[in-house]
Amino acid sequence: MPRAAWIVTVLIALITAAMLLLAGYTGYAILSVAVGGSAAINLL
């Protein structure tokens, strides 16, 4: 169950990054990818 929560967190961060990138907010998109990457570390 905790692993599924981290996967959902990573997916939400990546979806958010894609939406921000499409809206033109590149800085926030990069920040969202960094958050997703930080959450992905917990999957290892």
The model's pLDDT over 3-36, given as tens digits with 9 standing for 90+, comes to 999 999 999 999 999 999 999 999 999 999 999 9
**Domain coverage including residue 31:** 2-43
Q: How confident is the model at residue 1 (pLDDT cuts 50, 70, 90)?
A: confident
pTM of the entire predicted model: 0.89
DSSP 1: -
Q: Is the pLDDT assigned to residue 38 strictly greater than 90?
A: yes
Q: What is the dihedral of CA 37, 12, 14, 23, to 10 degrees?
A: -140
What is the reported pLDDT for 10?
97
C-alpha separations of 19 from 3, 11, 24, 40, 42 in Å: 25, 12, 9, 19, 24
The count of domains in the chain is 1
Strand ranges inside the chain, DSSP E: none
